[in-house]
Chains A and B, each alone.
Chain A
Amino acid sequence: MPSSLKYFLTRLSGSLITMLVGTIVVFLVMKAAPGDPALIVLGDYATDETVAEFNRKHGLDAPLMSQYLDWLGGLIQFDFGQSLSVSSGENIGDLLLYRLPNTIFVGVYAILIAVTLSLVLGTLAALNRGTSVDTSATSLAVLGVSMPDFWFGYMLILGLSIGLGWFPSYGFTPASESLAGAFYSGFLPALAIAAPMAAVFTRTLRTALIENLDREHVMVAKAMGHSGRFRFLHHVFRNSLIPYITVVGLQIRYLLGGVVIIERIFGINGVGSLMVEAAFARDFFVVQACAVVFLGIVLAVNYVVDLICAMLDPRRVR
């Protein structure tokens, strides 16, 4: 087997095992959480009989092990079960299918903003090291890291929606309805999530570029008479991309954390807000489904990042 194929297969099986362990953890944590979905659904009117009936109907009275295996069996066939208390009786697969595009849109939008900002600021800072440009870019980055996204989200609403009236203060138009509307109504939430990420990306890129600018092969290239532009693109920038992309991949986790809060503030009908609501309502099946989806996304992104890094630096595969 070629070493590259072996590398990819090993990474893939690693991801799948992580996924399996993840489902066990998610399942057990939800079971250990206090609270009972039956009491939420039945509210003030719950009695012992109605609670027992509810649990029987949803298979919550079965032994833990068989509950888990039932759930896992469903997952493998992409059957997430039915919602208990967030949207009673609704198929969770349908809920997710409807909401996932919104979350992915805002997430990708945020990454695009963060990457664009950081490529500009990071490069400017590295090429103008020690000057006022560098100081400004680095200060902006510190500011970005220090601001909690929910706070920044409200500040954006206060300033740009309520104050200036440039953007809607609430609500999101799904891309399936209007792509322009999605970019417009998704701008503030995406920016709120992007700000801290952009800060981290900028600092990473700046450090990597500076490190590579001082490397010997760059000086050799200079001695050989290559132009500054050529040296930067082929010798400095490409080498700096590996740590940069790795960090971008790692930040996906924080991105998902941000999405959970930002979706609630801006009223985006996504998986993050669904998960929060489901957790409050003790809707085990929905929380588990959302967690598995998030886990899947993180693992998939990490896998893709590995692939890109391997392409940029084939030595990693051997």
Chain B
Amino acid sequence: MTRSNTISRRSLLKSGAAATTVAMVPFWAGAAQASCSTLRAGITGYNVINTLDPGQMTLIPEAYMVWGIFNCLLKFDEDMNIVPDLAESYESVSPTVLRFKLREGVKFHDGEEMTSEDVKFTIERLQDEAFGSPHRSKFSAITEIRTPDDYTVEIETEEPFAPMLSYLTNTRTGSQIVPKHILENGSNEDFASNPIGTGPFKLVSHEPGAALELAAHDAYFEEGLPKVQTVEVPLIAEESAGVTALLGGSIDVTSTAPFADVPQLEEDDRVQVLKQAGTSTRFVSLNNSVAPFDDVHFRRALSYAFDRQAMVNVVLFGEGRAANGIIPSSISWAATQEPPELVTLNQEKALAELEKSKYGAGTEATVLTWGSSWWKRFAEVFVLQVNQVLGVNFKVEVSDSGTVYQRMQTGDVQASIWGWLGLVDPDEYAYEVYHTDGARNFENYSNPEVDKLLEAARRETDLEARGALYREAEALAIEDCPVLPCFESNVHNLLAPDVEGFVQLPYSAFGAQLSAVGNC
């Protein structure tokens, strides 16, 4: 947590450089553009980082940093295809056994070599109940990990389990490879603040709530990476302060952008705006076991009764797209391609379904939401539209996210505004939300046919066939309207005009992408 004195030394260097150029240029705004030994990559919109231990991370900014400090066996490329990372190659030996061939000569930040023992240790640590990892359930399907030699790992699951490959990528899944030689005898608490990984960057300092500093890992296994020597990561809680920091030349990259500012920033030649539809889903969650949402006709009437594009325009200022289902469009091999009729505004059909329903106009219900800004607006836009189209009498109740989540888990809710962000496997959306036993199924939804398809998808290792199963399952689920899919929001990065080499991924892989930045 101690802030090293490099900052003042740097300021001095820059003030020296600035003095020789133009007198009126402030010393730390101007000079940094010239060379790129230091990249200033601001995490915007968040400033809480409680742990940098991948096995314990839950928050988005924690993941941003973990992605740059560690590697997984696999990773996603720009088109969201799974490609090798610490593994050189992989194959399925049998439907239940995956075999990974590891790269040789990969070094942890402390110089020790990474071997199959570290992989085995990492996954067993995640499975260990005493460690209490929030990611434990993802790896409970694994029954055995074998290490025939230093560079071979075999992972066996009880049944064929297709999502496992996604869970072994460098995303929010916690499977980043940690060093056995340190954690075997060391404490997990120490590791959380002094993480040692194989990634392109090592942690130099972390000042809670304020900034982190990373330095290049010179022995990094990818040739020529990272391109910068130092990365400073200020934690900027206010997104709008991130924009002014970038415009004023105090930082080079942001991790997000305020939606409302994006159209204007796109016109501004002082900034590069990167954006695309992110891996996220936002929906209205309906408690299918309480009135009035226990009636499928009433749920269908609601789904017909609001315009999703209007939501995108009002809630996201256009920075997103109307959803076709809950599997995000960026997972293109599994997402529903065309908007199903039931997720499209149609006043006549809405009223026809209401006619068939045991509840009529004037039905009252409360829609729970949270926060003060767009989540609240999201609920209001939904309620306003359905009240107008169906003549029902819905109300918005505002709480905070923790409370909403708790009430959803305990079923103490009629309807709520909810969503998931950054999950990378369709199973994490479709199975977990639509399956009777799904961990995120707070709707008490159950359809045996949907369950069967989702279970088959879990076992199917052929990507195309698996994607088809998810589409089929989702098409059936949408007929039942357990949730009302609404929209997916864009991910954004703002870059200073000179920054080159930053590639944006749909799950916003911030830390991992900084190693390729060559100019700033």
In the complex, whether B8 has a CB less than 8 A from a CB of chain A is: yes
In the complex, whether B29 has a CB less than 8 A from a CB of chain A is: yes
Given contacts A85-B50, A166-B26, A282-B402, contact A177 B7 (CB under 8 A): yes
Interface residue range, chain B: 35 or more
Cβ contact within 8 Å between A158 and B209: no
Please, how many angstroms separate the alpha-carbon atoms of A43 and B29 in the complex? Answer: 37
Given contacts A39-B406, A165-B26, A274-B209, contact A266 B241 (CB under 8 A): yes
- A 38-84 contacts with B by CB, 8 A: 39-46, 50, 53, 83
Most buried by B among A154, A171, A177: A171
- B 1-44 contacts with A by CB, 8 A: 1, 3, 5, 7-8, 11, 24-26, 28-30, 42
Q: Which residue of chain A has the shortest Cβ distance to B238 in the bound complex? A: A264
Most buried by B among A42, A46, A170, A171: A170
A49 to chain B, nearest CB (A): 9
Please, how many angstroms separate the alpha-carbon atoms of A88 and B28 in the complex? Answer: 32
Please, how many angstroms separate the alpha-carbon atoms of A44 and B238 in the complex? Answer: 23
In the complex, whether B229 has a CB less than 8 A from a CB of chain A is: no
In the complex, whether A281 has a CB less than 8 A from a CB of chain B is: yes
Cβ contact within 8 Å between B210 and A269: yes
Cβ contact within 8 Å between B248 and A86: no
Given contacts A181-B8, A266-B241, contact A43 B399 (CB under 8 A): no
In the complex, whether A104 has a CB less than 8 A from a CB of chain B is: no
Cβ contact within 8 Å between A90 and B134: no
Q: Which residue of chain A has the shortest Cβ distance to B8 in the bound complex? A: A177
Among B237, B240, B250, B402, which residue has its beta carbon within 8 angstroms of that of A276? B237
For A184, the chain B residues whose CB sits under 8 A away are: 26
Cβ contact within 8 Å between B402 and A170: no
In the complex, whether B59 has a CB less than 8 A from a CB of chain A is: yes
Cβ contact within 8 Å between B48 and A157: no
Cβ contact within 8 Å between A168 and B250: yes
Q: Indicate with 1 or 0, residue by residue over A26-45, a CB within 8 angstroms of chain B CB atoms.
A: 00000000111001111111
In the complex, whether B51 has a CB less than 8 A from a CB of chain A is: yes
Cβ contact within 8 Å between B26 and A269: no
Q: Which residue of chain B has the shortest Cβ distance to A276 in the bound complex? A: B237
Among B28, B406, B420, which residue has its beta carbon within 8 angstroms of that of A168? B28
In the complex, whether B47 has a CB less than 8 A from a CB of chain A is: yes
In the complex, whether A117 has a CB less than 8 A from a CB of chain B is: no
Q: Indicate with 1 or 0, residue by residue over A261-289, a CB within 8 angstroms of chain B CB atoms.
A: 00011110100011011000110000000
Please, how many angstroms separate the alpha-carbon atoms of A85 and B62 in the complex? Answer: 13
- B 115-137 contacts with A by CB, 8 A: 132, 134-135
For B132, the chain A residues whose CB sits under 8 A away are: 50, 53
Given contacts A45-B134, A269-B207, contact A277 B237 (CB under 8 A): yes
Cβ contact within 8 Å between B248 and A87: no
Please, how many angstroms separate the alpha-carbon atoms of A8 and B240 in the complex? Answer: 47
For B207, the chain A residues whose CB sits under 8 A away are: 98, 269
For A281, the chain B residues whose CB sits under 8 A away are: 48
Given contacts A43-B58, A165-B29, contact A170 B11 (CB under 8 A): no
Interface residue range, chain A: 35 or more
In the complex, whether A138 has a CB less than 8 A from a CB of chain B is: no
Cβ contact within 8 Å between A90 and B208: yes
In the complex, whether A167 has a CB less than 8 A from a CB of chain B is: yes
Q: Which residue of chain A has the shortest Cβ distance to B135 in the bound complex? A: A45
In the complex, whether B323 has a CB less than 8 A from a CB of chain A is: no
Cβ contact within 8 Å between A40 and B250: no
Q: Which residue of chain A has the shortest Cβ distance to B174 in the bound complex? A: A45
For A36, the chain B residues whose CB sits under 8 A away are: 402-403, 406
Cβ contact within 8 Å between B134 and A43: yes
Most buried by A among B207, B209, B244, B250: B209
In the complex, whether B106 has a CB less than 8 A from a CB of chain A is: no
B375 to chain A, nearest CB (A): 14
For A167, the chain B residues whose CB sits under 8 A away are: 26
Among B51, B208, B400, which residue has its beta carbon within 8 angstroms of that of A34? B400
Most buried by A among B42, B135, B211, B237: B237
Please, how many angstroms separate the alpha-carbon atoms of A177 and B249 in the complex? Answer: 21
Please, how many angstroms separate the alpha-carbon atoms of A281 and B208 in the complex? Answer: 14
Please, how many angstroms separate the alpha-carbon atoms of A167 and B25 in the complex? Answer: 9
In the complex, whether B305 has a CB less than 8 A from a CB of chain A is: no
In the complex, whether A162 has a CB less than 8 A from a CB of chain B is: yes
Cβ contact within 8 Å between A158 and B244: yes
Please, how many angstroms separate the alpha-carbon atoms of A259 and B247 in the complex? Answer: 23
For B28, the chain A residues whose CB sits under 8 A away are: 168, 171
Given contacts A181-B11, A274-B209, A277-B209, contact A85 B48 (CB under 8 A): yes
Cβ contact within 8 Å between A89 and B400: no
In the complex, whether B251 has a CB less than 8 A from a CB of chain A is: yes
Q: Which residue of chain B has the shortest Cβ distance to A172 in the bound complex? A: B210
Please, how many angstroms separate the alpha-carbon atoms of A87 and B49 in the complex? Answer: 6
A183 to chain B, nearest CB (A): 13
Cβ contact within 8 Å between B241 and A173: no
Given contacts A86-B209, A269-B207, contact A170 B245 (CB under 8 A): yes
Given contacts A89-B189, A178-B8, contact A45 B58 (CB under 8 A): yes
For B48, the chain A residues whose CB sits under 8 A away are: 85-87, 277, 281
Cβ contact within 8 Å between B234 and A171: yes
B30 to chain A, nearest CB (A): 8
- B 220-257 contacts with A by CB, 8 A: 234, 236-238, 240-242, 244-245, 247-251
Q: Which residue of chain B has the shortest Cβ distance to A43 in the bound complex? A: B58
Cβ contact within 8 Å between B50 and A88: yes
Cβ contact within 8 Å between B244 and A170: yes
Given contacts A34-B400, A85-B50, contact A166 B24 (CB under 8 A): yes
Cβ contact within 8 Å between A265 and B8: no
Most buried by A among B3, B29, B237, B244: B244
Q: Indicate with 1 or 0, residue by residue over A167-198, a CB within 8 angstroms of chain B CB atoms.
A: 11111011001100100100000000000000
Among A161, A173, A174, A181, which residue has its beta carbon within 8 angstroms of that of B248? A161
Please, how many angstroms separate the alpha-carbon atoms of A274 and B244 in the complex? Answer: 21
- CB<8 Å pairs between A and B, sample of 11: A35-B402, A36-B403, A87-B208, A98-B1, A157-B248, A161-B29, A165-B24, A170-B241, A267-B210, A277-B237, A281-B48
Known: A94-B1, A98-B207, A174-B3. 17 other contacts (CB 8 A): A35-B402, A36-B402, A39-B405, A40-B402, A42-B134, A43-B59, A46-B405, A86-B50, A89-B189, A168-B250, A170-B242, A170-B244, A170-B251, A267-B236, A267-B245, A269-B207, A277-B209
